[in-house]
Structure 1
């Protein structure tokens, strides 16, 4: 299957008059945001993209907690706030729900930057920890109709991640250290959630393949 098949699979979730939520997860650099943006661009006003990254704790709060050097780890997000957002989105009680947006150039979240109208039938949400078990993150899975796991392979993912860090001002050494250090520790936690996904999306240059999770090889 290629990108058009992924778009068709997302479109199949759309039911007029109902709200469905599609999650996209995977390790840092796996292509979650890119796929989410591609799907929304294709589906137009039938879908909106909401990112978990909008729930990054602010830099000042990370400094206060002593977690700034681990930014991106599971405990550097407002998990409860994200879960409450998903609950509001699912209930459709509000005319519009405003979600936050993470600005990578600022390394901060911008509140109320993403409007989600009540009549938008599909919300696509992407983030690292959508399938992590436990009291903190476990409720997320129950709020998703489907969750896809992005798996481009570690070589592609790490190359992409290093390039991304460098594009935002880190030196080559800093980008390599971050990608193989704290980002890799996060990736190992996320990789353990792979078997819980409804689909595994394998990405190769110019092509994406979508498989049921039970058919995908580790």
Structure 2
């Protein structure tokens, strides 16, 4: 996505968030989409825009990515799931659901894991969310899945956004991602097809309809 396109989309989602703000308590916004849909970039841009110009001690918005809840590689290897890392069954979904539920109401300062892609592991306690932060943006592939236990999340979202650039675009982006990591074209295509695109098709087919759908 171009810089201008990202700015335009960020403005659209900012306006959407403003229309869904809770008069009291937390506003929890889900931004979902398949791998390589652009959801992480949009979520980060949204939080940055919402916090722009704020002089308050606590930020107006905070970001909670789902990726911090990846199961450790040792657990995945023991379960034979390491080649499918990123699939729904490779996350601590119970812990993630509990975290989102807890964020729906303001409480004490709370701490959450992030995911370090260079190390390929979760980093505990690296995201701080203060009790006076009114907007939480939750980002991830499976936020709107119909299947249990993921479907429990919908209850705690004030509103949801789904990004769908289309399967052809996702395929090109995922192939390019693995080429960037040094795989040859054949290996990149195989890696994308056997894992990322399996997950992408699941997200596109089995997610509930979001309050705001961004196509293209």
Provide TM-score, normalisation by structure 1: 0.85
1:88 equivalent in alignment to 2:102: yes
Which of 200, 203, 206 is the equivalent residue of 1:187?
200
SS at match of 1:12: helix
Q: In 1, Cα distance between the equivalents of 2:178 and 2:14?
A: 28
1:142 to 155, 161, 171: 155
2:55 is matched with: none
- Whether the 8 Å CA contact 1:13–1:122 is kept in 2: the answer is no
- Kept after mapping to 2: 8 A contact 1:57/1:77: yes
Distance 2:35 2:75 in 1: 22
- Is the Cα–Cα contact under 8 Å of residues 146 and 208 in structure 2 kept in the other structure? no
Matched, 1:122 2:135: yes
Unaligned runs of 5+ in 2: 52-58
- Cα distance in 1 for partners of 2:94, 2:102 equals 12
For the residue of structure 1 that corresponds to 2:104, the secondary structure is helix
Instruction: Give the stretch that moved more between structures: 22-31 or 148-157.
Output: 148-157
Matched-pair contact (CA < 8 Å) for 1:56–1:77: yes
Q: Which residue of 2 aligns with 1:174?
A: 187
Q: Is the 8 A contact 1:104 1:168 kept in 2?
A: no
1:22 matches 2:25: no
- Give the secondary structure class of the aligned counterpart of 2:128: strand
- Cα distance change, pair 112–166 in 1 and its aligned pair in 2 (3 A): farther
Alignment of 1:5 onto 2:12: yes
Cα distance in structure 1, aligned partners of 2:181 and 2:18: 33
SS at match of 2:34: coil
Number of residues of Structure 1 aligned to a counterpart in Structure 2:
202
- Structure 2 distance, partners of 1:132, 1:34, is 21
Report the Cα offset of residue 172 of structure 1: 3.4
Q: Distance in 2 between matches of 1:56 and 1:144?
A: 21
Matched, 1:72 2:86: yes
Q: Which runs of 5+ in 1 are unaligned?
A: 204-218
Whether contact under 8 Å (2:43, 2:137) holds in the other structure is yes
Q: Distance in 2 between matches of 1:139 and 1:181?
A: 28
Q: Which of 68, 71, 87 is the equivalent residue of 1:57?
A: 71
Q: Please report how far the alpha carbon of residue 88 of structure 1 lies from its aligned counterpart in structure 2 after TM superposition.
A: 1.3
